[in-house]
Amino acid sequence: MAVVGGTHDTFPKLLLRHAEAIGGHPAIREKDLGIWQAWTWREMRDEVEWLACGLAQAGLERGAHVAVIGSNRPRLYWTICAAQALGAIPVPFYEDAVAQEMVYVFQEAEIAFAVVEDQEQADKLLEIAPQCPRLKHIWYDDARGLRNYTQAGLEPYEKLREAGRAKAAAEPSFFGGEIAKSRGSDTAIMMYTSGTTGNPKGVVLSHDNLILSSRAYAELEGLRDDEEVLAYLPMAWIGQNLFSYAQWMVVGFRINCPESGDTTMTDMREIGPTYYFAPPRVLEALLTQVTIRMEDASWVKRRMFRFFMDHARRVGARLLDGRPVGAADRLLYAIGNLLVYAPLKNALGMSRVRVAYTAGEAIGPDLFVFYRSLGINLKQLYGSTETSVMVCVQPNGEVKPDTVGPPMKGVEIRVLDSGEIVLRCPGLFRSYYRNDAATSEAKDAEGWFRTGDAGFFDESGHLKIIDRAKDVGKLSDGTLFAPKYLENKLKFFPYIKEAVAFGQGKAEATAMVNIDVEAVGDWAERRGIPYSGYTDLASKPQVRELVRECVEKVNADLSRDPRLAGSQIHRFVVLHKELDADDGELTRTRKVRRGFIGEKYATIVDALYSGTAQCVVEAQVRFEDGRVGSIRAELAVDRAKTFAAQALAA
């Protein structure tokens, strides 16, 4: 068992342990100039030591915050570890956050030091520097484009590394001494929650929180130190941090940083991860690509793909769960594996995946079953930043598409009368940074944490999440209205990218829809429907008809559940622009901000309920370079068929 316990109660201590025990094993790889470059645990220990010494030399003190901004790069991971070695607290940022969004965090956490990836991030910090007087030092990894910058305090990473190297040579005991000063109960990291409303909140997590949570997963899945993991999700997301940093440090496996965001697919195929983590949107994008490519394949291949995928849907998941399957079906599955499943898994880069997790959002049953039927052990888990992602996970052999599994060992869960889930667990955060009001609101004296999610346990003790507790409302006639549940059902169609449901206090439920421009564009091309861009495509009558079919299927599905039959979607609008985080319509993790959208597009909401067939909307959009423009569009309001509620017996 590679899981380390006992005295190694902080991440830097774990690093020292790995450098001793498995020092020659590669710890981290990065594809650079077309070649996978690797650093062993021993080399990484040295890099972290130099970096820590450099930071200490520059004046980083115990308890201070360090900003880490950029995509997955070894040096940024080392920065996290180096800061922790000094007892300082790393604060990762989303790399696509716009400058002004960062100001709040920099001011609140009084950040003086930042290590960033490149010019893009450095520019943002220089832009906000006047508002953040405490910001003293920015170090950058990639010097490109920064050659002629002369600002004081802006320096290349190499300079920090060299200064640290000199200090480490002069004081060889400094690094070890600093690491020994920290305890597991000390703060390891601060992660800002995206916050669907108001300012983001800094979640303070201790080494204990993350290490206990990581260890629970490692023991449950039997993770070994030879796992390969692809580190490709935003570093500021707790999921990424847990799977590619905390578990990496606890288990001692390998993480691999892709060459760039665009090459992730190729890099994944080259690495062949054994342990994989992906939010549903990534899995969905992969499936969409496969579907589009299959449509382009020859007739024989298409037939073969359909035939064997149908077969896989019937028996694949059962085989994976170890349930009985007939000999003929087994044989056919084996043939299918040879002809379709194995090549497909290879194309997806999932040939070697032993365990795959998905979390962050609800996953569509079709999508979920697709991966499982291929023999990929994809499982759902439930958790949040505040719980170090440790609440529920689906155990092997008991995987159901619509639940998140039973509570993990050491987690206590209660469901309040309001439907809200409250829990206690070892991974539970210490507090929100400088926000006692929010902390005491979320966590009571006995340590029960209000998740804010609504759900219930099914008959086999698995937790089922339906929506955010505060969003679960009622229609004017008292029918239960769970907007996210409706939105997710809509989003499970490949043609629909985003949906926003309305209905709180109204007579009936309605929805705004964003089409998936790739899937619908492909659909339109096949039918010879010309279009110029998203707005044009979305306004085509054929596309609206396509969306109507999806909405009606959702309605038919809802009518089968007596509790939800009343919340069928009566009218909908296909939006003229894609909802975007830059316009504040989505959070950085791409969750819709329903309230904000409701206010911004009040005219559309009015039209959805007034019965008119048309409405005119003018909306501000923010371009990637920060300029603001406006789009004016005439939108059609469509009506969808609803179904009479069916009795459960039917």
Q: What is residue 527's three-state secondary structure?
A: coil
Question: In the Cβ-directed half-sphere of 368, how many Cα atoms lie within 13 Å?
Answer: 20
Helix (H) / strand (E) element for 189: namely strand 187-192
Distances (CA, A) of 463 to 342, 390, 391, 459, 540: 33, 13, 10, 10, 41
Q: Which long-range contacts (CB under 8 A, 24 or more apart) does 145-148 make?
A: 145/118, 145/119, 146/118, 146/119, 146/122
* Rounded Cα gap, residues 590 and 175, in angstroms: 40
Considering beta carbons, is residue 186 or 522 the nearer one to other proteins?
522
In the complex, least distance from residue 130 CB atom to other proteins, rounded to whole angstroms:
11
| DSSP-derived pairing of the beta strands 509-515 and 569-574 | parallel
In whole angstroms, the minimum distance from the beta carbon of 230 to other proteins comes to: 16
Q: How far apart are CB 267 and other proteins at their closest, in Å? A: 9
Three-class SS string for 596-610? Answer: HHHHHCHHHHHHHHH
The answer to whether residues 572 and 513 touch, using CB atoms and an 8 Å cutoff, is: yes
The reply on whether position 300 binds other proteins by CB under 8 A is no
158 contacts other proteins (rule: CB under 8 A): no
Among 144, 477, 532, 650, interactor with other proteins by CB under 8 A: 144
Asked if 346 interacts with other proteins (CB under 8 A), we say: no
Q: According to the binding rule CB under 8 A, does residue 266 interact with other proteins?
A: yes
Cβ closest to other proteins, residue 265 vs residue 475: 265
Residue matched to tokens 């316990």: 5
Q: Which residues contact 561 (CB under 8 A, 6 or more apart)?
A: none
Binding span for other proteins by CB under 8 A among 261-269, 285-293, 496-504, 575-583: 261-269
Per CB under 8 A, contacts with other proteins among 214-253 are none
Segment near other proteins (CB under 8 A); pick from 188-196, 255-263, 479-487, 600-608 = 255-263
Min. distance of Cβ 277 from other proteins in angstroms? Answer: 22
In the range 110-129, which residues lie near other proteins by CB under 8 A?
A: 123, 126
Nearest distance in Å: CB 38, other proteins: 17
Q: Which of 199, 260, 346, 396 binds other proteins (CB under 8 A)?
A: 260
User: Minimum distance from CB of 284 to other proteins (Å)?
Assistant: 20
Under rule CB under 8 A, residue 270 binds other proteins: no
Report, in Å, the least distance between residue 148 CB and other proteins. Answer: 5
Query: By C-beta, is 6 or 533 nearer to other proteins?
Result: 533
Q: Does 151 bind other proteins (CB under 8 A)?
A: yes
149 is an interface residue for other proteins by CB under 8 A:
yes
Considering only residues 569-628, where is the footprint of other proteins by CB under 8 A? 625
For other proteins, the closer of residues 349 and 483 by Cβ is 349
Using N-to-C axis directions, what is the helix angle for 99-108 and 119-128, rounded to 10°?
60
Number of Cβ atoms within 10 Å of the Cβ of 636: 16
User: Which residue, among 367, 376, 375, 377, has the nearest Cα to 401 in the 3D structure?
Assistant: 367
Closest CB to other proteins among residues 346, 646: 346
For the CA atoms of 508, 513, 519, 525, the dihedral, rounded to the nearest 10 degrees, stands at 100
DSSP 401-419: TT---SBPTT-EEEE-TTS
CB of 285 to other proteins, least distance (A): 15
The nearest distance, CB 149 to other proteins, in angstroms, is 5
Distance from first CA to last CA of the chain, Å, rounded? Answer: 51
For 466-495, b where at least 16 C-beta lie within 10 A, e where not — what string?
A: bbbbebbbebeeebbbbbbbbbbbbbbbbb
Shortest reach from residue 124's CB to other proteins, in Å:
12
Whether 138 and 125 have beta carbons less than 8 Å apart is answered as yes
The smaller minimum CB distance to other proteins, of residues 477 and 625, is found at 625
Out of 6, 7, 24, 150, name the contact with other proteins by CB under 8 A.
Answer: 150
Nearer to other proteins, 32 or 61 (CB): 32
Interface region with other proteins, contact rule CB under 8 A, candidates 97-105, 148-156, 173-181, 634-642? 148-156
Q: Least distance to other proteins from the beta carbon of 102, Å?
A: 17
Q: Tell me which of 6, 170, 262, 326 binds other proteins, using CB under 8 A.
A: 262
CB 113 within 8 A of CB 64: yes
3-state secondary structure at position 619: strand
Helix (H, G, I), strand (E, B) or coil at 517: helix
State which of residues 147, 417, 527, 630 lies at the interface with other proteins (CB under 8 A). 147
State the Cα torsion 190-195-201-207 to the nearest 10°. Answer: -30
Q: How far is the CB of 152 from other proteins (least distance, A)?
A: 9
Is residue 263 a contact residue for other proteins (CB under 8 A)? Answer: yes
Q: How far is the CB of 144 from other proteins (least distance, A)?
A: 7
The Cα 80–Cα 115 span in angstroms is: 10
Contact status: 518 vs other proteins (CB under 8 A): no
Instruction: Indicate the residue among 260 and 646 with the shorter CB distance to other proteins.
Output: 260
Binding mask 24-63 for other proteins (x = CB under 8 A): --------xxxx----------------------------
Helix, strand, coil: what percent of the chain each, to 5? Answer: 40, 20, 35
Q: Using CB under 8 A as the criterion, which residues of the chain lie in contact with other proteins when the complex forms?
A: 32-35, 123, 126, 144-145, 147-151, 259-260, 262-263, 266, 625
